[in-house]
Structure 1
Amino acid sequence: MPVISTKGLIYTVKPGDTLFSIASRFGSTVAAIENANHLYPPVTDRGFIYPDDVLVIPTSTSTPILSHIVTNGDTLSAIAQTFDAHVDLLTGVNNVSNPNVINVGQNLLVPAFTYRIVSGDSLYSIARRFGVSMADIEEANADRPGFQGDVIWPDYHLIIPIPTSRNIFVIRPLPGSTFNSGDKVEGYARVFEAVVTYQLRDSNGVVVSNERFTMTDQGGPAYGFFSSTVSFDRQPTSASGELWVYSRSAKDGSIQDLVKIKVNF
């Protein structure tokens, strides 16, 4: 499955930009940017870009989670809406001191990754594969020159939002990943007493990995990083399932801030 394993940057073209200047600034190449955004016919004349075009800039940094580069007029609220995320979450994971103040050129980690479209894909099949809605994919890719909801191009780098809650952002595994016993769950969380809880279920409702917990490296109100190895307690009875990541209420033990990541076995 062609998930892009290196970081992409979400960049809005400014007057005076060229593909060469953008590639040089971010350590990419003109060819990589053209391919990622389908900057050639029939979308546009080869290599043409215009102010306010939103581009994905491939880089060689070895992390799949995207960063959004702040442009004029951006607000944290608008960026959060693009990825169906909460302002608190983006504020916390990016150590933003004032959610009403972000700076042009600032890099903000966002809950999304990129997928390279292959022949035979449709937006519907991609949405099902990753357990996200078509509407969320369309919102995340709005204003990109090579994106149309009814026509998608092989090799185009499609932005896929990652499900989050107000207080939990799972960065590993990515939605749609193949998950094995011994693999890790990692992410950021703002949770009571720094305790993050997780379990793994297959699509028949069988609990493959019993409920366990791990700790973040910072307690609330900070969003701390967490990492834990997930061991299977029984074999899956289906080909796919969900990793549940959440917290337990201190008041009544109920599940709070549940995030479900679709995985394959």
Structure 2
Amino acid sequence: MLGIIEETQILYTVQPGDTLYSIASRFNSTVDLIQEANAIYPPITDPYLIYPGWLLVVPAPAVQPYRSIYIVQPGDTLFSIGRRFSAHYDLLAGVNQLADANAILINHPLWVPAFQYEIHPGDTLTQIASQLGISVQSILQANEGRPGFSRDLLYPAFRLIIPAPSTRNITVVRPPVGEYIASGVHVEGFARVFEANVLMQIRDGNHMIVTNERFTTAQQGAPAYGYFSLELPFDQHPTTEEGELWVYDRSAEDGRIVDLVRVRVYFS
């Protein structure tokens, strides 16, 4: 989808004494990229002027594979970080392999389930949320405290933080929400599931099955969160332009789908 940026983003809260130059140097970014991604220019603020407490998106295109990394600030808890990104704190603790979920360290980098969306002329939050299959409220929560962010006025090239669909036990890292996909799409993520079996299928907008249910095995089984990866072919031609990737587990008791993560996709 137009607007999704597939590169690493650092989510950093400005501290006293920080400058755009020091932040760019610390995270292998550039001042220009940070300014544009956060609308750090008039009428939001004077050029190069930042304030403690602002949450910045710091693009780091050279960092691979691409991820969203949140830098812990004073007062943070896993619960508050999870709330910001619409994610369960168990998921954050497990994927980041935290020995003590109640003791996170200031300045510690944490993986969080999120993507970047670059604003284009004419975009609105309602339109973006609808196209990505997520709620406006989740976008508002993720971008709270950011310079240049307003529900009613979006600046071109400003980068929104978009929470990735997740449950307590599963999150999908790729493809991002709103991605155009074709047969053979690469799916990856993290899961805490029974016997490490992660199930997937793709459906179109008419609820027709495009990819029959397939499974892969995560690198670790429950209670750990294991990384998983699989390429999904199309078994049927899509009958609509949009659809959903389903990633889930099945109940050991009755076989019903549980922990379903639904990712809005578009067919190329």
**Common fold: TM-score over 0.5:** yes
Q: In structure 1, what is the equivalent of residue 127 of structure 2?
A: 125
Shift of residue 47, structure 1, vs aligned partner: 1.6
Amino acid at match of 1:8: Q
Alpha-carbon deviation of 1:64? 3.8
Q: Secondary structure at the match of 1:165?
A: coil
AA in 2 matched with 1:123: L
What residue identity is the alignment partner of 2:58?
I
The residue type paired with residue 30 of structure 2 is: T
Residues 195, 222 of structure 2: 8 Å contact kept: yes
TM superposition shift of 1:31 = 1.0
2:49 equivalent to 1:48: yes
Runs ≥4 residues deviating over 6 A: none
Displacement after TM superposition at 1:56 (Å): 0.6
Alignment partners' CA distance in 2, 1:83 and 1:21: 26
Q: How does 1:237-252 map to 2 (within 5 A)?
A: 237-252=239-254
Q: Distance in 2 between matches of 1:133 and 1:42?
A: 28
- Structure 1: state its 5+ residue gaps: none
What is aligned with 2:38?
Answer: 37
Which residue in 2 is equivalent to 1:16? 17
What are the superposed Cα offsets for residues 59-91 of structure 1, whole Å, 9 maximum, x if unpaired? 121344311000111111100000111010000
- Partner in structure 1 of residue 230 of structure 2: 228
Residue equivalent to 2:103? 101
Aligned residue type for 1:46 = P
Q: Does structure 2 retain, via aligned residues, the 8 Å contact 1:111–1:169?
A: yes
Q: Distance in 2 between matches of 1:149 and 1:5?
A: 24
CA distance in 2, matches of 1:47, 1:34: 8
Residues 4, 179 of structure 2: 8 Å contact kept: no
Q: Which residue is 1:79 aligned to? A: 81
Distance 2:129 2:48 in 1: 29
Shift of the alpha carbon at 1:128? 1.3
CA distance in 2, matches of 1:243, 1:82: 24
Q: Distance in 2 between matches of 1:2 and 1:62?
A: 20
Contact 2:204 2:244 in 1 (8 A): yes
CA contact (8 A) 1:5 1:63 kept: no
| Residue type at the aligned position of 2:29 | S
Aligned identity (percent) is 51
Give the SS at the match of 2:21.
helix
2:157 alignment partner in structure 1: 155
Q: CA RMSD in A?
A: 0.9
The Cα shift of 1:29 comes to 1.1
Q: Which residue of 2 aligns with 1:5?
A: 6
How far apart are the structure 2 equivalents of 1:41 and 1:64?
Answer: 30
User: Is structure 2 residue 83 aligned with structure 1 residue 111?
Assistant: no
Q: Aligned partner of 2:46: which letter?
A: D
Confirm or deny: 8 A CA contact 1:38 1:153 kept in the other structure. Answer: yes
1:263 matched to which residue of 2? 265
The code of the aligned residue for 1:210 comes to: N
Q: Hey, what's the Cα distance between the residues in 1 that align with 2:11 and 2:99? A: 22
Q: Which amino acid aligns with 1:23?
A: A
Equivalenced residues, count:
265
Counterpart for residue 26 of structure 1: 27
- Relative to the length of structure 2, the TM-score reads 0.97
